[in-house]
Amino acid sequence: MIDGFDRTVLGNTMPDMYGAWSNGFSFKGIELDVLLQYSAGNEVFNATNTRIASFPGGDQNQTSNWIDRWTPENPNSTQYARVPSLRPADYLVEDGSFIRLQTVRIGYNLPLSWIAPIRMKSAKVYFAANNLAVFTKYSGYDPEVTSNQVDYRYPFVQGFDYGGFPRAKTFIAGLNIQF
C-alpha cells in the first residue's frame, strides 16, 4: 500500500553553485563585451506538465512526451501509461542547471579625426543583445524560473514552473557622444 510514508525529497531548488563570467576585448577601436551566467545542481518542479503532459487519458491533446507511453500495443515502454493530472510525480522534477548567454555588446569608437571637426570628444556606435541563448536540459522555457500560479498567497516560488514566461530577447542599438 502506498501512503504518506512513501514520500521522499526528490531535489533542491537551491543551486550547488552559480555565478557569471564577464570579459571585454578591444582592438583598433572595436570593443566586444560578453556576459555568461550559470547555475548548477538545482532542480525545477515542472508543474506546467501537470496540465500539458500528464496524459489523463481520453481524447485530450497532450505534448509529444506520451507518444511512446506504455499501451497494450507498446508493452515494452518504460513510460507511465497515464498519470493523474495535478498530482506531483518524480517525472516532473528536472535538472535546472544552465549556462545563459546573457549579454553580448559590440561597439566601435569613431576615430578622433572623424569627430574632432564637429567638436566631439568621443563617439561610439554600439549594438547589444540580451538573453540570446540558454543551454540546458530542462524541458521548460527557462530553468531560472520563479512562478506560482497555483496559490495566490505565494506568487513567487523559486524552482517552481507553472507556466512562467521565458525572458525576452532584447536588441539595442545606440550612439554615445561626448562633447
- Tell me how far apart the terminal alpha carbons of the chain are, to the nearest angstrom: 78
pLDDT in the model for residue 34: 98
Are the C-beta atoms of 78 and 68 separated by less than 8 Å? no
Judge whether 74 lies within some domain.
no
| Amino acid of residue 81 | A
> Phi, psi at residue 91, to the nearest 5°?
-70, -15
108 domain residue, yes or no = yes
pLDDT per residue as tens digits for the range 4-56: 787 788 889 899 999 999 999 999 999 999 999 999 999 998 888 777 766 65
- What is the DSSP secondary structure assignment for residue 150, as one 8-state letter? S
Task: Give the domain range for residue 37.
Answer: 4-43+95-178
Q: Let me know if residue 84 belongs to a domain.
A: no
Q: Is residue 132 part of a domain?
A: yes
52 lies in some domain: no
Q: Are residues 104 and 132 in contact, defined by beta-carbon separation less than 8 angstroms?
A: yes
**Do the domain assignments include residue 24?**
yes
Q: 129 Cβ partners below 8 Å, 6+ apart?
A: 103, 104, 105, 169, 170, 171, 172
pLDDT tens digits, one per residue of 68-89: 777 888 888 877 666 655 667 7
Q: Classify residue 29: in a domain, yes or no.
A: yes
**DSSP-H helix ranges across 27-110:** 49-52
- Domains contained in the chain, number: 1
In a domain, 83, yes or no: no
